[in-house]
Structure 1
């Protein structure tokens, strides 16, 4: 009998993460025995690919930087082509504890997309200022869209089940913040069931953070714009396994 981990593909977008990616891949294999890990080298110019391969990961090479959304779409398509039912995103910078994947998998029986939530009672991860305001606003609005309480809609630590994998392989957005905000709107409008589980996040183990504190106000404006454009797009109709629209 195939275990849930054997049916799950870890997709790890990585852009110049040579300092951390080897340790993160090794931790994935240690805590999730039997799982497959695909590192998507998102146009890095350092030794990210070599470090990932040295740790035992599969590596997909992108010729230039597409962003997290573009890298994840590669991962979703790889999963479909190679028979994986589930896809879980794990960041290459060490912020996501791979052990949390087990908690995400436990919710997959009743959900199509499971978020690892930083602000749901687990851990002490904190965000302040305009970026925190944006997260609160987005969570309140997207909770209504998804018809369930979501406290961390910008979390990249998320697990997609079979329906969401098929949806995202064709329609995962590549724009800035699209991989978090717009993907939730797409999933909700396609009638995917969205849930969350509390997880603890860690500080980066290497590289540079993607958002500097002085850019927090810009993040707030971009988050609002990302949500606005997500709502302008027409809903995606998701076909089930026998070809009917659901």
Structure 2
């Protein structure tokens, strides 16, 4: 992999009319500055605001999902697009403005240097920039412990949606990617399938648009549901490996 590899940045979008244009324009500026062979795909997850009309006016490709699939379904659609169109690298960046495009070279570096199959931008290594809410940080620490228990991997920011995958990983997520809250579950998926996971420190911003689907009142429900998903995935993939 090199900076001249074909890169697809996948931006899931649900009701982010105030942020999505700036996200795309920031990515274009980084592409031009770095000289990347980079395309942008916005996946509109059945937004009910003005997001779709804004996306249509932007200089990028887009998928307009006919029903709301959630973040997992939206990203799976994007990864299948990346696989079918022969991209070498796929990057996930949120459409709400939390992930600065200027941090993209940092996230891509382990992929370019062939040090990782999965590169994750983490806000908890250098601990600079936006650090998320207290309840969410507790949940992230819990998932770090669960990952260590199940696959022996220490991932400080397992809910980060700022990620880069190489072609080997794209082929895997083309076949299957977790639904609803895929980021913590996919860490176990990647670990059990022998992928090299690397975290890199990035600065994140508070979201510019929209509201998180994970709030304090839903935190316990979220942790329980994702924990069950992680455990089920662990046993399903372990059974496949030992057949």
How does the TM-score come out when normalised to structure 2?
0.88
What is the distance in 2 between the residues matched to 1:206 and 1:221? 27
Contact 1:185-1:230 at 8 Å conserved across structures? yes
Change (3 A) 1:204 1:127: closer
Instruction: Give the structure with the higher percent helix.
Output: 2
Q: What 5-or-longer segments of structure 1 have no aligned partner?
A: 239-246
1:1-246 to 2 correspondences below 5 Å:
4=3, 7-33=6-32, 34-108=37-111, 109-143=114-148, 145-174=150-179, 176-177=180-181, 179-235=182-238
Q: Secondary structure at the match of 1:38?
A: strand
Change (3 A) 1:5 1:37: farther
Change (3 A) 1:43 1:173: same
Change (3 A) 1:110 1:144: farther
Change (3 A) 1:128 1:95: closer
Change (3 A) 1:95 1:186: same
* Deviation string, structure 1 residues 188-210 (Cα, Å, up to 9, x no partner): 11111111101111011112222
What is the distance in 1 between the residues matched to 2:81 and 2:41? 9
Change (3 A) 1:236 1:161: farther
Shift of 1:180: 0.6
Shift of 1:79: 0.9
How does the TM-score come out when normalised to structure 1?
0.87
Change (3 A) 1:163 1:116: same
Q: Secondary structure at the match of 1:234?
A: helix
Q: What 5-or-longer segments of structure 2 have no aligned partner?
A: none
Shift of 1:128: 4.4
Contact 1:10-1:35 at 8 Å conserved across structures? yes
What is the distance in 2 between the residues matched to 1:173 and 1:30? 31
Contact 1:44-1:64 at 8 Å conserved across structures? no
Between Structure 1 and Structure 2, how many residues are aligned? 235
Contact 1:31-1:98 at 8 Å conserved across structures? yes
